[in-house]
Structure formats: structure tokens, C-alpha cells
Structure 1
Amino acid sequence: MDRGSERDAAPGREADSGAAGRIPLAVVVVDRDGMVSHWSSGARRLFGASREDAVGHAAADLLPVSGALPEDLYGAPTPDTYAQYDGLGPDLEASLGGHTAYATAGRARLVPHGALAGDERLDVLWWAYPLVGPGPSRLLVLAADATRLREERGYDDETAERISPGFARHTELPASDELERRLPEILPNMGPGLSGRIVSQVLELGYPVLEFSQSDRVPVTPYWGVPRRPGRRRTEPVVPQRRRPVAAVIPEGAEQDLEYAAVRERLEFLNEVSSGIGTSLDLGETIREVTSAAVPRFADFAGTHLRAAVLAGEGFPDGPPDATTVMFRVWVEHNDEPGRWDDTVPVGEAFAFPEHTPFYTCMSTGEPVLVPRVTEELSERISGEFEKRDLRPLIGGRSLLIVPLKARNVVLGFMVLMRRPDRPAFDDMDRTTGAELAARAGLVLDNARMYTYQENVADTLQDSMLPQVTPRMAGCDIATRYLPGTRLGRIGGDWFDTIKLPGSRTALVVGDVMGHGLNSAAMMGQLRTAVQTMATMETPPAQLLRNLDDLARRLGDNYLATCLYAVYDPIRGELHLANAGHIPPVLVRAEDGSSELLELPTGAPIGVGGVPFEATRVEVAPGDRLVLCTDGLVEVRGCDIGEGLAALCESAAHPAASMDAACDTIIRALNTHGGRKDDVALLMARLNGIPDDHVAEWRLDPDPREVRRARRLVRDRLLRWGLPQAVETAELLVSEVVTNAVRHAGSEPVGLRVVRTDALLFEVTDDEPALPAMLGAGPGDETGRGLRVVSRLAREWGASATGHRKTVWFEQAVAVQVPYIR
């Protein structure tokens, strides 16, 4: 607030006194609804909003203290309102949000109320006090102009000063009675009761203070390595021209001691490097941070080389490197003219360093190598070790320091540092500093390497457990999407699957194991395998979930999962579904484009036990689409899952050019929340059906003479379908399977069905439940070769039993005839 404001000045002094130790403050009170209830004239001058524009409006839109305002009550501010850059004290997201009662302070850049685009932001210091007790008041906010404060202190640009707001706790505030008396004058409409309560809480939490720290930056290189003169006598302390607070006791005469300044600057440099590297676990970003940290303050050139195993995120390298170890030049940083190093030392190059070079010495011994000046002889020798590389113009006359990048006493790589001839050469102190820099960088790189390795392992494990879904099944088209979660490791228990069943049917499965990590992924693999096994045995959906529930309880008490299992029969145009605690699927009707959530008996999750599972049949038409997904797609923390399901229905009904495009539309519509951490599995099936004229069925008597009739029926049907090239093989295979059926069948008729899709499916059903076995027939045996012929000529074959009947089926590929011109 302005210094001339009498109403807003600090109590006990005249507002225009300008006495040291006092700064003008703006005062604001925020109520429990997040609205401004009191707004001082100083707040109007600082923030640019009048009392009429502020009182009754959301505090988050006017004040730079979002962290002190719980977002669940007040809402998040707009991105352009302010940008915090110097928050202090405890985490603001946790403080004052209704969880704790600590005062907080901070510093922010603020766009004044009514400012135009491009106007300069205000530099605001703020303090926030939580208000407890009766009444609507919840927060007291004090603010000051940091820009004006800095100008009044009169520091020039060469002086680095930090201004931080804080609190003087457990200290008596002078003139507290006067503050209690003056507060109603500063904030109109405030009674003495509220004023006294606010002042008492301010005294308890600490009155606002400012902390100043100032340092004169010393250039790194010119003052490093200056020895202390022998016999130097200590002088009397030098009184600085300006009073400045210090955070530690400084020895007498230290500020005039160049060696002390050099050591201090080295420590500050290493501290800055340590805080500037390792901000990300991404290996490439970490490499760039490590290399760039040395230029230009410590060196004019820095090049980082890493072993291939480290760069690939593989396991920890074995043993020390040797002449055969391949090193990758992963990043180069320099302050020479652009492009000077690009052709000679390109980034991404891989090679083994020759033995008679200082680079090999560093990586083989694991110790720094210092060359104060690269002589002409040495530059020629180094350049001669690299074919077709004239390094002499680049390294001649420069100071060279090579430091190893190590972790757990294993060399991961090394960093080449060089200074131009016009800078002081590296010395022993530089070698120590460079080694410390490399040691810290090596630990950061190893952390990034381990994270990359673990991420690769997780991805490999996840990919190995997810199926390779065939895009076309009998009578339906399939499209899938899988998005790993954003949690560390990204291993989850979500899965989907499509299983080919007898009778041209397809099983569609989606499931979600509760939890994350390797245990969840392992359980997912077990459950997926069990579902595949039971599905191929034609286990009905409800019974399959019951068996899966029993299996999960045998595996462990903590094994819980949800699962949705559906069987699509394209000939009957029917879905047979059962649900175990999973979110319902969406069915999009082709006739009118409408979408609906299928109402299924929910059931309990797999692993609960003692809950029955029910199955439901749903009739579908050709062209309908079935959408199954896990809850990670529709469930977002803080939002109702009903909203996500409604959005799923809406996006699933959106027309799309292809199945893949339809999946992408759903993902884009529902994957907009940045807070999604769970995995997402999405499976979409377009239920095309199989036309009636592509299916032929016959009933045969259990008589060996019916085998000839079966061959004739199949031949006539294939010729009618225009498939003469498939007749000969089909007749042979049908003859073998029907012969076995009529030989072992009882009194009931034998069923023969042929289905035409992208292949020919043949099914032979009889009333003998025992599954056939492939036998080994000798040269003199007259039987036992039928199934061997089927397995050799058919694309696929199998057998399944249901009740007291069994079905033997096989598929025959249909050769595509390509017309040609003679």
C-alpha cells in the first residue's frame, strides 16, 4: 500500500515517517465461503480493485494466495491470474485448507485488477492467517509491494538480494493494543470483537516480518586456486558499508580472503549443480542437465559419454570398461561459435576409445585425468588415435579435465571438460571440484538408469501379459486400446481378451485386478489364463465366473478382481453375458445410432465368494457395437462415476470411419483429466453376424453309409458358394470326421454344419461325450489315422464336450483366386 496512507499504516508510527523496520501493508479478510468480506484502501491501491469490486467476490480471483485457499470451497484460479514462484513455509496445498491452523507466507507475481495484456506484473509479498472461532471470518491476508521495497533499499543490479516473508513467533508485538484499536479504522464495518480476536490470533501465530539475504557473486574461474600467502596476518574485521543480515558466523577478514571466496564459490557452484540436476527421472533429460551444468561457469566445453548398457536402460554394467567397451557420446555443451564441434564430435556417435588416450585412462582407472595444457605433440597423438578426425584445432592449447561418472564403484561413463586458452587452466582444486561434480552426476544418472530399467521391465511384463488380439473374428471385428497408468512403474491388473469358441462364437472378456504392482499383474496373468482355459471348454458365462471366483480365493485372501464375460453367437445374433462387479458394457444400435448401458446383474467381484452369478441374453442385430472397458476410463477422483458412464455412452455413439477411429474418439473424450492414474483397457466389437445363406446344417443317421452323403452335401454346398478349389480337401476331411462320429455314436443323429466366413468352419456333433484322441497308427493298422490327416490338412481343429454330446470341428482356409490375363 502507499506510504502516504494514514488509514493503512502500521500502528504506532505516522504513515509517512518512513522509519526503518516498518512497511505499509494491505489488509484483507476472507469469509468461510471464500468471499472477500473486508478490503482496505491499501488493498485497493496494491491490487487495483475498489472495495465495491472486491467485497463479496471470490478471493481466489483477487489475491495471490491460492495455496492458502482450499480449492474445494473456492475453486482453482485462472492460469493468467498469477504465477507463484517463492512459496515459503509448509506445503500450501496442505496448510490452511481446513486441515491445519498454521500461518503461511509467500511471494508471487500478480496481474493487477483491470490490467491490460502485456502490463508488468506486481511483485507481492503476502502473509495469511487462519481465523478460528465464531463468525464467518476464515482468513486474514496481509500483503506488501516487494518492488517498491527493493527500490527503497537502494541495491544495485550487481548485488544479489533475496527478500522472503516470514513470521516472528513467540515475540511480543509492540503497540498490539493500538493495532486492535486501529484495525476497525483500516477495515470499515469491523467491530471491536472481531478486531480483538484477529489481533490475538496474529500475536499467537507470529507477526509478519521480512528476511533479507544478500551476497556479491564472485566469478568462479578467475578466483579459484589462489593460494594463501605464507605468514599472512589476520587483520581487524572490516565494517561493511551497508548493514546486511548474515546466516552464519564469518571468520575475521574472510571477505577479503580470495581463497575463502574461491572455496565458498566452489561450494555454491556444487550446491547449485546438485539442485539443478536430477529434476526428472527421464534419462535423456538428466544427461542434458548434467552436461549443461558445467558450461560456462566451470568449463567452455562439456561432453558426456555413457556405456551402451546404461543408455539402453539395461541392467547394471558388469566390471570396469576396457578397450572393447562401446561408449556413446550422448550430449555436448559448449560456448564456442555454433556448429564448431558438430562435425568432429557429433552427438549420438558410438565407438570404443583407444588405449593410448587420456579418455581410456579415465574410464579404465575410474580416476580423474588432468592435462593443464594440451600441447601440440599431445593433440597430434590424440588426434592420430581417431581415424579421419582432426581434433587438433579443437583441443590444441586448451586445458583438459576428464572425470569419471561412477555409481557403486562402477564406471558408467565419463565427462570431458575443456577450457579455452584465454581462461586459467584446470588445477588440482579444479580436479577435486570436477570429481565431486561427476560423483553427484553419477548418482543422478544411475537413479535415472534404474528407473528406465524398471520401466522397461514393467512395460515388457505388461506387454507379455496382454493378448495380441486378432482384428477379425468369425462374424465380428475387434479393436482394442490399452493405456498404462501414470503411477510409478505403470504395472496394473487391467486386461482384455478375445477367445475363439466352437460354432463361430467369440468370447469377449475385460477384467480389472484391484491394486497395482507386480502382484496385481501376476494375478491378472493367472486369471486370464484360467478364463481362456474354461472358455475353450465351453463353460457357460455364469459358471465360468463361479469357477474363477473359487480359483481367486484359493490363490489368496487378498485377491480381488472385477470381470465381464460375454459370448457372441453371430449365427443366432445373440450375446450371453455375466458380470462380476464390473462396470456395465455399452451397446450401440446400428439401426438408429443410439447407445445404452446394458442392465446386467452386477454380481460381486471375483474373490469375494458366496455370491451367485447370473447370466443374461441380449439379442443384437448386424452392425451393432459392444463397448467394454475398465473403470480407469470412466472413473476420475472427485467426480461421480455416473458422469463418466454417460460420457462413455455419448462418445461410443459418435459415428466413426473405422473401429480404430471409434476407439480413439472414446479415448479423446474421456481421457481429458490430467489426474487419471489408473490403467485403461478398452475393447470394442462390431457384431456383424453371419448371414443365413452362409450357414448350412444337416442331420445324418448313425450309419456308415451316411459318410458318402456327407461328402456329396458338402461338395454341392461349396460349389453353390463358388468355392470349387476347396471341394477336394473338404470332402476328405469331412469323410474322416463323420466316419469317426457314426462309428462311435449312439442312437441319436449326427449333426453336420458348414459355416462360411473368411474361412470354412466344419462341425460334426454326436452323442458320445468322450473327446477323441490322436493315436499312433502302425504300418499294418487300418484305423487311427483320421485325426492325423485332419491336423495335417486343416488350418485349425479341436473338440469340445457339452453335456452328453461332443463336437469336433476344423477350419479350412479358402484360397483367394486372383484373375490374370494371358
Structure 2
Amino acid sequence: MDRGSERDTPPGRGAGDTAAGRIALAVVVVDRTGLVSHWSSGVRRLFGVDREDAVGRPAADLLPVSGALPEDPHVDAMPDAYEEYDGPGPDLEASLGGASAYATAGRARLSPDRHAPDGERLDVLWWAYPLVGPGTSGLLVLAADATRLRDERGYDDETAERISPGFARHTELPASEELERRLPEILPSMGPGLSGRIVSQVLELGYPVLEFSQFDRVPVTPYWGVPRRPGRTRAEAAAPRERVVAVPVPAGAEQDLEYAAVRERLEFLNEVSSAIGTSLDLGETIREVTSAAVPRFTDFAGTHLRAAVLAGEGFPDGPPDASTVMFRVWVEHNDEPGRWDDTVPVGEAFAFPEHTPFYQCMVTGEPVLIPRVTKELAGRIAGEFEKRDLRPLISGRSLLIVPLKARNVVLGFMVLMRRPDRPAFDDMDRTTGAELAARAGLVLDNARMYTYQENVADTLQDSMLPQVSPRMAGCDVATRYLPGTRLGRIGGDWFDTIKLPGSRTALVVGDVMGHGLNSAAMMGQLRTAVQTMAAMETPPAQLLRNLDDLARRLGDNYLATCLYAVYDPIRGELTLANAGHIPPVLVRAEDGSSELLELPTGAPIGVGGVAFETSRVKVAPGDRLVLCTDGLVEVRGSDIGEGLAALCESAAHPAASMDDACDTIIRALNTRGGRKDDVALLMARLNGIPDEHVAEWRLESDPAEVPRARRLVRERLLAWGLPQAVETAELLVSEVVTNAVRHGRSDRIGLRVVRTDALLFEVTDDEPALPAMLGAGPHDDAGRGLRVVSRLAREWGASAAGHHKTVWFEQTVTARH
């Protein structure tokens, strides 16, 4: 073939047929090893092969480009696969890496069994450019559908057969400057480095043209969009102040161009929609939204969101204003790395000045389009921002700012910019950008609402689960809570530890049947009821009966299991009652053995009419009690007995600490597949209180016993080596014993002192009425005792059981210096 640019023919002759040159192009890039590295959507439409199936495959298996590919297959190797013949173009045999060193072109007809399942042959025109220079890309291939040219333009078979692909110097064609400027649009979704290198070599090797005869050459002009006014040439729309020879748009082609431009933008929006919203994670969604526009639609994209949206809080209240803080949450661009980092850092929070286009978009909720940012405008914008110079970054660029809205409320906005060498944003781009932002806003709002709901669920669950102290009187406690894998992350599982009079501790685990907000709300009510009744020293079986009555009064759907245990560290005894819950595990310190405690099962809370029984178990110092909900041991499709056996085995495993012991159990049982329910785990090491740390006395109901009580306490504290606690202890014991002598009805008053990490004082009498803190005037002789106790004690309280009451207070033990 002869090189088209060397023909001695009048340039542009046959321009009346330029409609044939305005065609949809397929773009392929082949690397130096002959594998496809870029496969445009146009190639997919032409050959019916998806990008995922093409990239990385040998190009020779996919493209009928004879003589251009390394290791190009021979026609004989694929019988009846395609028939190919070269049109006019270069026919030089110098080669580079097995392929032609010059641009080549040709025409191929593919048989129906290869690419056209409908039975019609595919007629393909192609151009191939070898690529030199840095990088892995070795060949650019452009292809077009000759059948479509014939059908859409109404050519007869003879005219269609004469169309051949060729090359010409772009300066020989009409509107050469416009052709050169628009050439990068042939290469969508490519970075500036690769596209710039390809464009320079295309211009050097020859502009692709369609040749109708030896003298008629029409430049290949891909769909560029819609002229601004009917009848206006492309060169006039692009450069109205310059005298340029235009590429004429033939009559009747405007509607085709508009259709193609709209279709191209719809395809872009469709691809963006499928690429964003793959995750409900807010951060991942922000990155997807920002990256979707670069580089196909813009060269720079920056996303800014209101603080309430980014924090996953409720819906932003009211429209934004000058005081609204925006966070720059992500930036994507195809400039050189690091160019934007210092001036527009990700994570920066600030309010946008009023006299800026960003503020205008934010408060109006409408796109703002600036076709070119002049130096004067760039200076004015930069002047509104302190300590940064935006002028080098935005001058000469095309700027489009689109709001991110949901339910007609502005969540933020996106800043889009194109480089000066790229076509400026126009009205159609404004519409496309607004639609992109609308879809992005919806996806972001979905992620925001999901984040907000997760935060609400976590806050609700955390507020309902107690902050358990790791050290109670005579025992150490460790807990774990794992939310279920079901949607919502909240449920009705709970645990609790409650301080009781007499250095005792109540250990509770419960599980409301069901999942979600209703179960969590019910759990909160039941937990509060348990705490109230436990503080009143309600025996375990009676407590569960009262809880059952409460659940049935609240509604028919209130069903829950509960295990309630009271540990007395002085007696070394557990008192337990069970309401349909799985049994606890007791690990003996003496030999390390573990066992499921055999307790009367009872019926779940809310069933009604079932008696609850109390069991007593003797324990030794160092024994461990393990209570959990069924989510830890019960897995769909497995016997719960297997889970209970695994719980016993893992609970008996030695551990350095209580937390390590809990982790061992979780690791052993949580790896079992199929767990969806919540898990509540409570472990208590029952240390006990030695007899030498407990002192008890009986006092007579006589005012003369008050000095004796002070003396007994002083002697005991000195024997324990706590002289710093004597003065306060004497004062408080004197006040409480005086009240018991004054208001008691029997001759016996009990006084007990227990030493743990604090000092616990208990005074018991036979008057069941609880004491009340009174307001004493300046001339009153009484009413100040409990105020003194409240002021000086770390904690204090009173409880009534049977026909007696106990007033207790705790005193902090300070270390001796």
C-alpha cells in the first residue's frame, strides 16, 4: 500500500462525504508481549467481547489485524475465520519486535461463527500504530464497523466496497488544528502520559482517514458531541475568534451526533453507577464516587462533605451557610503525584468563603460552571483562602462544581476540573456532572444512613450493657460481648454484676428471645428490674418469679431466659436460680476440672405458672464460674451438647489472667461456623474472703454501746495495720450505731467489718423501715448523721430483708506513705 500522506492529491477533496468519516471507534492497546492491555467499550460493542475477558489475552486471538501484530496468525491457521485484505496505506516491511515499524491499515471480514452469531459477516476497518518510547505499550489499534457506515449512510454495495482505511498528514486535511486538538478524545480512560505519547506518534505516522477513491480522503472524526447551534461548524464552536477551515457537518448529521453524544454520556453514567455503591462503608463509598469521574470525565475530582455526614450523625439540619464546616474527604487526579497534596490536603476541614464559586454551589444547591478559569478569577479565588496559592493549580482549567444532594438537602459538593489542553466543560457536561452528583449523593446518603444506624445501634447496645468493675468484693470479673452477624448488630443478650450487702455479688446473664430494637428495649426493662430487686435483697427464686410476673404484665411477646446467681465470699457459697437458661460451668481450682452445674431448668421468663427453685453450691477460693448465652454454644445444624462440652473444655484451659481465659473460650467456640446470634460471656473468679479479714460483734441497744463500738473498730483497724483509717471509721460507725440504738426495737445490734480492697462496715437491727436522709436546720439536735456518712464514705446504702435492715458504708483504704 502507498502511504496516504505522500499522494499528490488535493487535500480534502470529497468533503461532501464527510458524514462517513464521523464514526464510532474501537480502541485497543497491545503491550510489547502481544497481550491486550486496554480494551474500550467500543471494542466490546464491535466484537462482543467484554473487557474482563479481553485484557491479558493475546491480541492475535481477538483482532483481525494482519501484518501488524507480533506473531500474527496466518489466514490458513484459522480456516473460514476471516478474510482480510489491505486497503491503501503503508506497506513497508521494516519491523520492530516482529511487527511493522510503521502505521498499517486494512479491512477484514469475519465469518459469522466467530463474531456475528446472528449470521451476518462483520466488516471491520482498522488502523494500527506501533508505539515507541518508555512503558509497556507496543501497539495502538483503531477499528470501525464498515457495515454500519453502509447501513446508516445509505451507500450502495459498490460505494461501500470502495471505502478503505488509510493515512494522511493532518495538516493536509480541513481544520487540521481542530483535528489535532480533538485527537485525544479517541483515547478515553487513559492517563496523560500514555495518551500524550500515543497522540504524538499518531500525528507523526499519519492521521487516520477513510478513502473512497484514489483522490477522496475524509478524516476519521469520532463522535465529539453536539454543536452549540445547528449549522455551526465544529471549528467555529471550538475557536470562534480564529479563522479556521472547518470540517463540515453534513445536513441530517446533527441528530445523529446528538444521539451519539447523549448515548456516550448515558453509558458513562451507567458505568459510574455500577462502579459506586458496592459497599455501605462511608469511606469506601467516598473513594468510589470521587475516583469514578477521573480520567474519563475530568482530570481532577475533589469531594467535600459536611461534618455531620462524615461523622455518620443524623441528617444535616438546614441549608449550609458561611459557618458550615466542610471536610475534604478525598481527592483524585491524573496529574503528577503529589502536585495537589500540600495545597488541597485530604482531611482538611474549613468553612468556604462567601465570594467563591464553591460557596455559591453549596448554598444554592445548583451546579456552577466556569468554562475557563482566567488568571484574574484564579487570583480572586486564591485571595479568599489564607496561606495557600491556588493560582498555579486552577488557572486555565475548566471548572465544574456540582452539589451532592439527598432529599433536597446539600450533603456536600464535588469540584471537577479539566486541564487546559482538554475541551472545556459545556452545558451538556454540566447536565452530566449534575446527574453524576445526584447518583453519588444518593449512594453517599445510603452509606451515611447505614453508618448512622450502626452508630445508633452501637450506642444503644453500649448504653444497655453495664460497665462491669473487674474487682468486686471477694471476686474478680471479666466479660465479653459479641454482636450477632445479623443486620442491626443489637439484640437482647445481657450480663450484669450487682453489689449486694454483706460483701456479696449478684452475677446475672440473660437472653431475650428475638433480635433487634424490640429485643434490646425489652432487655433494658428486664435488666433494670433485676437490678432493683437485687438491691432489695430479693432471694434468687423469688426474683425470677417477680421478673416473670413483670414480663407477662408488659406483653405476651416478652420471653427471655435468665440465670441469677449470688456469691457470698465469706461463706464460700453460690445461691443460684435458673429460668430456662443454659447451665453455668464451674472450674475447680483444686484440680482444674470443669463441670456443668446441674440446676433445675425452670421455664423462660414470660411463660408464667412455673415455679423456680434455688440451688446452693459450695465453692473454694480460686474456683471460676462461667456464665454465657446460647449464642456461644448453639450453632444451627449442630447439637447444643457439643457446644456445652466445648465450653467446659475451653473453660478449664489454664490462663494467665481472666481476660486471657475469656479470650480462650471465645477463640475456641466462636470459630464454629454458622453463628449468627449475640454472645454474652461473664466469668468470675471466686477468691473468697479469709476469716481473718472479717470481724463481727453483737452490741446491746444501749447508748453506752456507741463508745464500745468505736473502740472495737479502732482496735481491729490497728491490728490490720490501717491506722490512717481509724479516725473516719470511728466517726461513721458512731453515727450509724447511734441511729440503730435510737430506732431499733430489740436488744441486739450487729456490727461487722470486712476488709477487701476497701473497708466495708455493716450495722444491722430489727427495724425494717429504711432510714431517710433528713434536712436539719441550724438549731436541730438530730438529722445530720446520714449526711455525714454520705459526705465521708466512698459509698453507702441500706437494705431490708425479712424483719431487719442493714445500713452499710464503704471506706477507701489509703496506702501508708
SS at 2:526 equivalent? helix
CA RMSD, 1 decimal: 3.3
Partner of 2:210: none
Deviation at 1:478, TM superposition (A): 1.1
Paired letter, 1:585: P
Identical residues among aligned pairs (%): 89
Matched residues in 1 for 2:623 and 2:83: separation?
Answer: 74
| 3-state DSSP of counterpart to 1:643 | helix
Q: Would the alpha carbon gap of residues 215 and 511 (structure 1) be closer, same or farther in structure 2, given more than 3 Å must change? A: farther
SS of the counterpart of 1:389? coil
Tell me how far apart the structure 2 counterparts of residues 260 and 556 of structure 1 sit (CA, whole Å): 63
Q: Secondary structure at the match of 1:266?
A: helix
Summarize the Cα distance change of 1:285–1:155 in structure 2 as closer, same or farther, 3 Å threshold: farther
| CA shift digits 1:514-562 (9 cap, x unpaired) | 1222221211111111101100100000000000010011111111111
Match of 1:225 in 2: 225
Greater relative CO (CA pairs within 8 A, separation 6+): 2
Other structure's SS at 2:498 match: strand
**What is the DSSP-based 3-state SS (H/G/I as helix, E as strand, rest coil) of the residue aligned with 1:426?**
coil
Partner Cα distance (1:255, 1:685) in 2 = 81
Name the amino acid aligned to 1:267.
L
Q: How far, CA to CA, are the matches of 1:408 and 1:590 in structure 2?
A: 62
Question: SS at the partner of 2:424?
Answer: coil
Q: Secondary structure at the match of 1:578?
A: strand
Alpha-carbon distance between aligned partners in 2 of 1:215 and 1:776, rounded to the nearest angstrom: 98
Q: Equivalent residue for 2:162?
A: none
Q: Which aligned pairs between 1:539-688 and structure 2 lie closer than 5 A?
A: 539-673=538-672, 675-688=674-687
What amino acid does structure 1 have at the position aligned with 2:723? P
Deviates more, 1:779-788 or 1:284-293: 779-788
CA deviations on 1:98-120 (whole Å, 9 max, x unpaired) are xxxxxxxxx9x99xxxxxxxx99
Alpha-carbon distance in structure 1 between the residues aligned to 2:492 and 2:345: 43
Corresponding residue for residue 451 of structure 2: 452
> Structure 1 residues 224, 663: closer, same or farther in 2, change over 3 A?
farther
Q: Deviations over 1:175-214 (max 9, x none)?
A: xxxxxxxxxxxxxxxxxxxxxxxxxxxxxxxxxxxxxxx9
AA aligned to 2:758 is A
Q: 1-side partners of 2:254 and 2:82: how far apart?
A: 22
**Residue aligning to 1:270:** 269
1:713: which partner in 2?
Answer: 712
For 2:557, what is the secondary structure of its paired residue? coil
What is the identity, as a one-letter code, of the residue corresponding to 1:695?
V
Query: How far apart in 2 are the matches of 1:152 and 1:470?
Result: 82
Partners of 1:601 and 1:712 lie apart in 2 by 48
Looking at structure 2, the residues matched to 155 and 706 of structure 1 have their Cα atoms a distance apart, in angstroms, of 120
Distance in 2 (alpha carbons) for counterparts of 1:348 and 1:504: 52
Q: Does 1:752 align with 2:751?
A: yes
Q: What is the aligned partner in structure 1 of residue 349 from structure 2?
A: 350
Match of 2:153 in 1: none
- Relative distance call for 1:671 and 1:153 in structure 2 (3 A) is farther
Matched, 1:813 2:796: no
- Who is 1:397 aligned against? 396
Look up the match of 1:722: 721
Other structure's SS at 2:645 match: helix
CA gap of 1:688–1:455, structure 2 versus 1, over 3 A, is same
Question: Is the CA contact 1:354–1:360 (under 8 Å) kept in the aligned structure 2?
Answer: yes
Shift of 1:255: 13
* Cα 1:663/1:151, change in 2 over 3 Å: farther
Q: Map 1:431-442 to 2 at 5 A.
A: 431-442=430-441
**Deviations 1:486-535 (CA, angstroms, capped at 9, x unpaired):** 33331211111111000000001111111222221211111111101100
TM superposition shift of 1:647: 1.9
Aligned to 1:336: 335
Native 8 Å contact 1:224 1:259 kept in 2: no
Instruction: Letter of the 1:399 partner, please give it.
Output: S
Deviation at 1:292, TM superposition (A): 0.7
> Which residue does the alignment assign to 2:739?
740
Mark the CA change 1:334 to 1:616 in structure 2 (over 3 Å): closer, same or farther: same
Return the offset for 1:215.
12
Deviates more, 1:800-809 or 1:440-449: 800-809
Using the TM superposition, name which of 785-794 and 345-354 deviates more.
Answer: 785-794
Task: Give the distance between the partners of 2:741 and 2:375, measured in 1 at CA.
Answer: 96
Alpha-carbon spacing, 1:231–1:547, altered in 2? closer, same or farther (3 Å): same
Give the distance between the partners of 1:311 and 1:735, measured in 2 at CA. 59
Residue 377 of structure 1 is matched in structure 2 by 376
Q: Which runs of 5+ in 2 are unaligned?
A: 1-49, 62-77, 85-107, 115-146, 150-184, 190-221, 233-251
Alpha-carbon distance between aligned partners in 1 of 2:406 and 2:684, rounded to the nearest angstrom: 51
How far apart are the structure 1 equivalents of 2:786 and 2:813?
21
Matched, 1:512 2:501: no
For residue 396 of structure 1, report the CA deviation from its aligned partner.
Answer: 1.7
User: How far does residue 768 in structure 1 lie from its aligned partner after superposition?
Assistant: 2.3
The alignment partner of 1:529 has SS state of: helix
Q: Which letter maps to 2:706?
A: V
Partner of 1:534: 533
- Secondary structure at the aligned position of 2:806 is classed as strand
Give 1:803's aligned amino acid.
G
Number of aligned residues: 605
Q: Secondary structure at the match of 2:492?
A: strand
Instruction: Write the distance in 2 (CA, Å) between the matches of 1:317 and 1:778.
Output: 52
Where 2:477 maps in the other structure, the secondary structure is strand
Q: For 1:772 and 1:227, how far apart are their aligned partners in 2?
A: 91
Quote the offset at 1:312 in angstroms: 1.1
User: Which residues in structure 2 correspond to 1:175-214 (within 5 Å)?
Assistant: none
What residue identity is the alignment partner of 1:711? Answer: R
* SS of equivalent to 1:422: coil
Is this contact kept in 2: 1:224–1:263, CA < 8 A? no
Shift of 1:256: 11
CA contact (8 A) 1:294 1:302 kept: yes
2:724–2:816 Cα contact (<8 Å) kept: no
Structure 1 residue 231: deviation in Å? 8.1
| Secondary structure in structure 2 of the residue aligned to 1:388 | coil
| Cα displacement (A) at 1:226 | 3.4
Supply the distance in 1 between the matched residues of 2:432 and 2:330 (Cα, whole angstroms): 21
Q: Is the 8 A contact 1:737 1:808 kept in 2?
A: yes
Residue of structure 2 equivalent to 1:766:
765
Q: Which has the larger radius of gyration?
A: 2
**Cα distance between partner residues in 2 of 1:271 and 1:601:** 63
CA distance in 2, matches of 1:602, 1:685: 21
The amino acid that maps onto 1:452 is: T
Paired with 1:255 and 1:600, the residues of 2 have a C-alpha distance of 86
Aligned CA distance change for structure 1 residues 765 and 436 (closer, same or farther; 3 Å):
same
Measure how far apart 1:609 and its partner are.
0.6
Return the offset for 1:458. 1.6
Relative distance call for 1:302 and 1:803 in structure 2 (3 A) is same
Q: 1:215 to 1:730 in 2, by over 3 A?
A: farther
Task: Give the drift of 1:767.
Answer: 2.2
What is the CA deviation profile of residues 544-581 of structure 1, one whole-angstrom value per residue up to 9, with x for unaligned ones? 00000100111111111111111000001111111111
Residues 220, 262 of structure 1: 8 Å contact kept? no
Q: Residue in 1 aligned with 2:481?
A: 482
Per-residue CA distance 1:36-63 (angstroms, 9 max, x = gap): xxxxxxxxxxxxxxxxxxxxxxxxxxxx
| CA distance, structure 2, for counterparts of residue 152 and residue 777 of structure 1 | 111
How far is 1:218 from its partner?
A: 7.4
Query: How many Å separate the matches in 2 of 1:255 and 1:621?
Result: 93
Displacement, 1:254?
Answer: 9.5
Q: Distance in 1 between matches of 2:425 and 2:607?
A: 69
1:705 deviates by 2.7
Corresponding residue for residue 792 of structure 2: 793
Amino acid of the residue matched to residue 318 of structure 1? D
SS at match of 2:664: helix
TM-score, scaled to structure 2: 0.70
* In 2: Cα distance, 1:783 partner to 1:343 partner: 72
Shift of 1:629: 1.3
- Flag the 1:641–1:224 CA change in 2: closer, same or farther, 3 A: farther
Q: Distance in 1 between matches of 2:583 and 2:664?
A: 19
Ranges in structure 1 where 5+ consecutive residues have no aligned partner: 1-106, 111-118, 124-149, 165-213, 233-252
Question: Residues 696, 386 of structure 1: CA spacing in aligned structure 2 closer, same or farther, 3 A cutoff?
Answer: same
Superposed CA offset, 1:394-449 (max 9, x none):
11222111111111111111111111222222111111111111111111111111
1-side partners of 2:605 and 2:343: how far apart? 62
Contact persistence 1:697–1:754 (CA under 8 A): yes
